[in-house]
Structure 1
Amino acid sequence: MKLVLTILLFLSVNFLSHGQFIHTEEFIKKIEAYPKDKLESLKKIAKLFTDSLEKSNSSDVDRAFVELLKVQTEIQDNYNKVLWESEDYESLESIMYANEKLHTQKAKEFEKYAEENGFIIQVTEGTINIEKSPTFLIETFIEFLSSSMKSYLKQYCDELKAPFMEDGGIIIDFTTFRERVLFWDNFDKQNPDFPIPNYPKNQFEFYLYHLLSGADNTPAFDWNSKIILESYLKVYNEIIQENPNTRTAHILKDYTKMLKLNSYKKNDELMNFINKYDPYKY
């Protein structure tokens, strides 16, 4: 009897010390109240998620995580606007220098502030930006998520670590490029009810489109001859041969047949085929 009372007392104290668990709907309402222009809001929301969210239903936990990501993106966007207009911006730009000895004290403090609150500093096209920290996302949340959301988060963080494009050109290698197209192809097929509607399909079509067309400064067709580059054609054939049952392979089979009929030269017929997957058409 004493043992039972001791256990009940322990559970009661433990419950009270951690506070009452909240369900997903309440979590979503609570996070709306946090300021969306302060980085520290994310750390507070993350603590609410890890310490107080009721986690018995994995689909509800995933839904809460999706809402958290939306708020993180809003904080990121709002803070970047403040950052670019800041009178300290020029001082903070010293973060761009590879030599850390050239970083100003304000830049060092800013970088520390970002990292402590779940963000990193990213330099793109000569501009510093706040970006989500892949390390923070993985270390803080992945243990609570469903298997499909874990898979999504790992891929999402890999893509944060290795941006796809910069200065109008593709900057990842073809192996990674191929892996991304196939990942989103399979993920979209396997997760029709994913809690971020259309995201897997949009990611698949984004990468597929660029696999077919290239980008402004890294086009799939030669600038002068308009002939498809061998590096792109090689990837098409590899996917067709090694991943024949994927949607990507079926699309590429049709596309390579069309390329052959048109002597591998860019024309309106080929562009009409490519533009079916244009992510910028809407």
Structure 2
Amino acid sequence: MNGPKNRTRKKIPALAAVALMTALTGSILPAKRVQAAPSGIQVNLAASGFNALSAKSDVAEMWAYIEKNAASSSQATVTVWLRRLETVQNKRLPGLEAALSQESLQNALMTTDGIYGDWKKGTRTGNAQADKLLAEIEKNGYVLDSTEGYFFPKIDYLRYLKQASRTTERYADYLKIRSDETVSELTKDAGLMVSWTELVARAERQSRYLVSYPNTPETATVQQMYDQSLYIVLYGTDNVPLFDYDTRKIDSEAKAAYQKQVRTGSQSSFTKLLRNYTRVLEQNGGKLTKSVEAFRDVRNPWVE
């Protein structure tokens, strides 16, 4: 790994940085507004206490409240709490990133071991302003990530996942999918950041969620994630192409991962598509031919 002084980064203007964050972290549909209880119906005191914290957008206290009360609350209640928390965290992300986007702070992060690369919580730069923001990021349930030498916060869904067993099944399934991105973004710098096997596994999970839960508040977000996964399964990325530019042959590791998934016998919509894709590839000697191009172009999720 290069030493701190040898690192270079691509400067990203503040407005572009916010757009980049949105593209990297995705979006979440806002939680439905909780209506006031009708006259004569007693309001749950625990819910009322959480609502007060939510109204103040106090993320740290919302987290503390959930972690203290989740075990003694219903799955439906904990799900509502986490959805509300997720909405508040998403609303705060642009402001946090904008504060962190100052060049002096980005430089401090860039030149600190334990932050560049795999971020180790608790690491500090020595820059007072940067370290204050790092402490806020940790306290409020975010993690620090980077791309092209630009640092940005994102929601720590692994923390949410610790409460998954106390939520409804569909929200727990959603949290498992979102936690994938906390472990590793799917792509960075036009490269594939996970193995082809992991890519296929994520696409399978996302596909199954969309069939099982077509109308949840999280469906649109999972659909966006699935569209990205499916596109990469069909095309690869600019820096990690599915087909060699010279020989036009499919990547051997991708081919093995696709065949392995097909052999599972899954009847998900994703695996059915993958089964047909591998069949067309076999018929064309594993090369990118016009017929293979036609197959994938028709199924390109990013083309209407």
Tell me the equivalent position of 1:9.
none
For residues 144 and 121 of structure 1, the distance between their equivalents in structure 2, rounded to whole angstroms, comes to 27
* Aligned residue-pair number: 254
* Aligned AA (1:266): L
Per-residue deviation at 1:131? 1.8
Report if the CA contact (8 A) 1:42-1:72 is conserved.
yes
For residues 112 and 30 of structure 1, the distance between their equivalents in structure 2, rounded to whole angstroms, comes to 20
Alignment of 1:84-233 (within 5 A): 84-85=101-102, 88-95=105-112, 96-97=115-116, 103-106=125-128, 107-139=130-162, 141-142=163-164, 144-233=166-255
SS in 2 for 1:219: coil
Tell me the equivalent position of 1:8.
none
Q: Pick 1 or 2: higher relative contact order, CA cutoff 8 A, min separation 6.
A: 2
Per-residue deviation at 1:61? 4.4
Runs of 4+ in structure 1 off by over 6 angstroms are 98-102
- For structure 1, the 5+ residue unaligned runs are 1-18, 35-40
Report if the CA contact (8 A) 1:63-1:195 is conserved.
no
1:20 to 41, 45, 65: 45
Instruction: Please state which structure has a larger fraction of its residues in helix.
Output: 1
Larger radius of gyration: 1
Q: 1:259 to 1:220 in 2, by over 3 A?
A: same
CA RMSD of aligned residues (A): 3.5
For residues 227 and 107 of structure 2, the distance between their equivalents in structure 1, rounded to whole angstroms, comes to 38
Alignment identity in percent? 18
Report if the CA contact (8 A) 1:62-1:195 is conserved.
no
* Aligned AA (2:194): I
Report if the CA contact (8 A) 2:242-2:250 is conserved.
yes
* Aligned AA (1:104): G
SS in 2 for 1:216: coil
Alignment of 1:228-243 (within 5 A): 228-243=250-265
* Aligned AA (1:217): N
SS in 2 for 1:130: strand
SS in 1 for 2:247: coil
Per-residue deviation at 1:258? 2.8
- Provide TM-score, normalisation by structure 2: 0.69
Tell me the equivalent position of 1:66.
83
Report if the CA contact (8 A) 2:261-2:271 is conserved.
yes
